[in-house]
Structure 1
Amino acid sequence: MFNEHFPGLVPATSYLFYKAYGQFGQYVPHFYCINCESYMGPRETAPKKCSSCNAEFDFERNLRVGSYFLVHSLSTQIVDIVEKSGIHLNERESIPGIVSDIQCGAEYEKLKQSGQIGADDISVLWNCDGIPVFNSNNFQIWPIQFQVIELSPKDRQANICIPCLWFGKSKPNMITFLTAFVAKLKELEQTGVKWIDSEKVEHTSKINLLLCSSDSVARPLLRNTKQFNGKYGCDFCLHTGGGPYVWETPEPPLRTEMDHFRHAMLATPANPVMGVKGPFPLMELESFKMITGFIPEYQQSVCLGVTKQIASLWLDSKHHNEDWYLGGKVSDIDQELLAINPPVEVTRAPRSVKERKFWKHLSGGHFCCFMHCLF
């Protein structure tokens, strides 16, 4: 399952795996009700009956049908990272006026200056998304992944943790899936984790969940809101939506944390309020914000949204009478486009605009190269 995320990362034998990862193999199954998918907890603390539907908890049956997900200690993973040899927190070089990383951002600086993030505290960037596992069926993995923001970008990407892992035939019930994750974070927000640095100095670091980067399909699940094509489906403003997001006058107001809380308290899944379907576990965290905590997702919003739309306007022959039509410049565009050698992070090499209907949407790389060529 790890190799689905990082091909070739996991050693070939179980001996080498446990030698390399040690306690990272110690995932604990947390069970949920077979009938209504309500969270029940690990076997040791699971109730005899579901509190929502009164169904009896049968450990063997739940295990047999896969009515559980895997959880590994957040604090254990964080301590393991920060105590590694060569790992240092808060050692970025900040140049005034230059934003080179999350820690250079104005909002992060405000949190540091206000004292919400202390000198030893740790903040987390996280995400959750589904990954199809097999071509022959609908089984998919939904991991929660996180990175420590106070590490350098190189160390951050080399130390991605997976505290929760869902495997099943359908998307997870996010209220159930996030319950254990949020419960542990609430504890770590208050008490923190203790760890010892390379100079044998003990630190206590409180954990702050700051940002979630998920695509426009997973994000509504993580916010308990309507999807982007539903009424009031925008995660950031109160546009009516329900289809294409046409220009509205006056401009729709931006969503606020206070409004979101009020809408959630009034809503139910059957009767959403302004696109919100009800309360959600993430709302219990002090450090995480339900509006600004989620960020617009570049690949689908820009590469597969705005850029694709612009490419169609410029190049589709039905617009040949418009001033903006560029269909007569295809050869010139292709000459520039095919000369681009993108970095390894862009997994799709440039292709002719004549083949744009075959451009691979999953990478967004083709649209990115196209815009780079034109501007």
Structure 2
Amino acid sequence: MLNNFKNSKGYWEKVRRNKKLLKRLSLLNPEGTAKKLPEIQKTKFLPQVANVGGSICICIESEENMEYGLDESTSELNTVPNQIEAENYEIGSLRSGLKEWALIHNIPHTALKNLLCILNQAVPQEKLPKDPRTLLSTPQSIVINSIGDGHYWHQGLEFCLLTYFNTIISNRTISLNFNIDGLPLYNSSPIQFWPILFNINEIKNFKPMVIGIYCGKGKPSDLNAYLSPFLNECKNIIENGIVIGKNKIQVKIRSFICDSPARAFVKGVMYFNGKHGCLKCIVVGEYIDHCTVFLGTNFPKRTNEGFRTRLYGLHHKITSPLEELPVDMVEDFPIGDALHLIDLGVMKRTLTGWVHGHFKGSSIRLSAHEIKKLSEELTNFKVPKEIRRTTRGLDCLAFWKGTEFRTFLLYAGMVFLKDILRYDAYEHFLCLVCAITICSSQAYNHFLHLANELLVFYIQKYEELYHKRSITSNIHNLCHLVDEVKKFGVLETFSSYPFENILSSLKHLLRTGSNPLAQAAKRISELSKTEHYEESKIIYPILKNQNRDGSFSKLIFENFTLSNEMPNKWFLTKNQQIISFEKALKTKNSISIKGLPLREKSDFFLTPIKSSHLNIYFSIVPYNNDGLVFLPLLHTL
């Protein structure tokens, strides 16, 4: 009887739960911990195994099954028994663990003080401080200077780099992206933050850090005074580098990534709604129906030399202090930010026009029945967890976030609109989809010339379909997008998404409505002491969910997850086969993937280019007679 019980599924589930509980109680971490990785929620989304480190070999097991072996270059594979915690902290002591926990979860000082009191009574031998400011190393004073009508706190670029790279063991060169933007703090007050942020292009998933923050009623009234501390420090660092022990970090400026109003503000030029507002070419806008439009795509480009010599007349308003830096005042200020130009710009305007009929003089508008149908499709649509935000119905369109418009543009729109949108409008929309897809992955760099042609055609056709009053700055700026992709790389590398995430977190640092700048400065100072450069110790792929036969039902790569569940099961091989994942098998130095290949697949669309050129396919599968559309997750290519 006992042996039968031990062989039952319930027994082993209980053993796993007990092991997990023991690890929590003893503050031990599972070996090979990893950040929680996403799942693919729909077969229309396709993770790309073709670029995983190591070679992929295929051997036919039978007519129905295949095995895909991953020969690892590492001598040891990271196999995780059953459970991986979403977050695990290496706790050296109760004090350091408590400090890290309080900072990560933004625990108020009042709550932390009460907890310290309880812990000091329960475990007096730990000798924890009574005051949370001692535990968190809160600075006793913050230097805040008056600038015009507001105040400015400067943490310093050098301080951030010295803190982050405190343990480097070799010389290196880094290139920095800077971001300047406004952040309203309260609904009932004009008080704003204007932080100066930066990230490091060479370090993947680098969390942007704060150089300084201006706080006042609106934007800084004195641009020179606002940027002066940053400029003086930046010029010195670029010239002399950062010395840490015996090693030196050389620093270069890569770009200034801002939205349109902030970009014009720091450059001292006409705003995007002015006739001379294009930052890239000398097109002169026209006023039509109280709106500035920019007709045409083939105009001479602005140059750094022309900008610095004031060659462009009314385009210039004031002399920007940023001209003191060794930057190209035209090319190093990209306008192709995916968040503001594409997702919250072109895609939002177009989808809103289809739904609400905002295109004056155009007959292209979705009917109430079509809106309902599309809304139901979007509501039922299960996006992968790699895509962090699910799509909502069109009744919430006014509240959509940038990532929702991105999901609609790159994945959902081309599928759901095919039988809803008017044919010529749908073909026009596909031009934008294909162009942005090409600009979003290095795998499609050889199509960049085609992307440029598609965007130019998209702008010209936009005027025909939606009237020339719709050719605003965002639509016009699409003609400059490919040039910036050629200079900086794919759209993700000069996107403001990482900076926007930090801006939202700054508001959460405030406890009360008084002295917001001092509050934010102290919280940022506390957090900065925990942010250090560390090489990732996680070895991929990770095996998870071991079955009784020794196989694994989940395989985690750095950018995606495969499992035998329907949402997670599809992947693409180097020879363009679409495979349904069944299980993974581990040998001494390799992992084999067992799965079922699709027998047939075809192009989902043929114009403006064949969808297969972008790894987009249509196929009839046994359990779905309507067929499935397979699209690659672009970040995995």
Per the shorter chain, which TM-score range? 0.5 to 0.7
| Residue 367 (structure 1) aligned with residue 412 (structure 2) | no
Cα displacement (A) at 1:73: 2.8
Alpha-carbon spacing, 1:141–1:21, altered in 2? closer, same or farther (3 Å): farther
Asked if 2 retains the 8 angstrom alpha-carbon contact of 1:28 and 1:72, the reply is no
Give the structure 1 partner of residue 378 of structure 2: 337
Alpha-carbon distance change, 326 to 218 in structure 1, aligned in 2, over 3 angstroms = same
Q: What's the offset of the Cα at 1:137? A: 1.1
Match of 2:257 among 210, 213, 219: 213
Gap change, CA 1:344 and 1:258, over 3 Å in 2: farther
Q: Deviations over 1:100-136 (max 9, x none)?
A: xxxxxxxxxxxxxxxxxxx622221111111111222
1:144 corresponds to 2:196: yes
Larger mean Cα displacement after TM superposition, 215-224 or 335-344: 335-344
Q: Which has the higher contact order (CA 8 A, sep 6+)?
A: 2
Tell me: CA distance 1:122–1:329, structure 2 relative to 1, closer, same or farther (3 Å).
Answer: same
Match of 2:209 in 1: 161
Structure 1 residue 10: deviation in Å? 4.3
Distance 1:137 1:306 in 2: 30
Q: SS of the counterpart of 2:193?
A: strand
Return the letter of the residue paired with 1:333: L
Which structure features the higher share of helix residues?
2
User: Cα distance, 1:31 vs. partner?
Assistant: 3.8
Q: Aligned partners of 2:358 and 2:270: how far apart in 1?
A: 34
Relative to structure 1, the CA distance from residue 320 to residue 335 in structure 2 (aligned partners, 3 Å threshold; closer, same or farther) is: farther
Query: 2: CA distance between counterparts of 1:230 and 1:297?
Result: 20
> Partner of 1:4 in structure 2?
none
Residues in 2 aligned to 1:21 and 1:123: alpha-carbon distance in whole angstroms: 30
Pair 1:29-2:144 in alignment: yes
Alignment of 1:299-314 (within 5 A): 299-314=339-354
Residue-by-residue CA offset, 1:310-351 (whole Å, 9 max, x unaligned): 224544568899786553643442343223344678776423
Structure 2 counterpart of 1:289, one-letter code? D
Within the alignment, does 1:225 sit opposite 2:265 as a pair? no
The answer to whether the 8 Å contact 1:333/1:374 transfers is: no
Aligned pair partner of 2:306 in 255, 259, 263: 259
- 5+ residue gaps, structure 1, are 1-6, 38-65, 90-118, 197-201, 267-271
Distance in 1 (alpha carbons) for counterparts of 2:203 and 2:358: 51
Aligned 8 A contact 1:124 1:211 in 2: yes
| 1:247 to partner: Cα distance | 2.1
Instruction: Report the Cα offset of residue 283 of structure 1.
Output: 1.0
- 3-state DSSP of counterpart to 1:304: helix
SS in 2 for 1:244: strand
Q: 1:13 aligns with which of 100, 109, 117?
A: 109
The alpha-carbon distance between structure 1 residues 163 and 229, as it changes in their structure 2 partners (threshold 3 A), is same
Query: Residue 329 of structure 2: which of 285, 290, 299 is its match?
Result: 290
In 1, Cα distance between the equivalents of 2:193 and 2:187? Answer: 13
Deviation digits for residues 132-158 of structure 1 (CA, Å, limit 9, x no counterpart): 1122211111111112223232xx12x
Identical-residue share of aligned pairs (%): 22
TM-score, scaled to structure 1: 0.65
Check if 1:70 corresponds to 2:153: yes
Q: Which residue of 2 aligns with 1:175?
A: 224
Quote the Cα distance in structure 2 between the aligned partners of 1:31 and 1:136.
23
Residue pair 2:156, 2:230 contacting (<8 A) in 1 also = no
Say if 1:185 and 1:207, in contact at 8 Å, map to a contact too: no
Displacement of 1:194 in angstroms is 0.6
Higher strand share: 2
Give 3-state SS (helix, strand or coil) of 1:210's partner.
strand
Aligned residue in 1 for 2:164: 81
- Taking the aligned partners of 2:324 and 2:349, their CA distance within structure 1 comes to 39
For structure 2, the residue ranges without an aligned partner over 5 or more in a row are 1-102, 111-130, 415-637
Distance in 2 (CA, whole Å) between partners of 1:255 and 1:181 is: 26
Q: Which residue of 2 aligns with 1:130?
A: 182
Partner secondary structure for residue 254 of structure 1:
coil
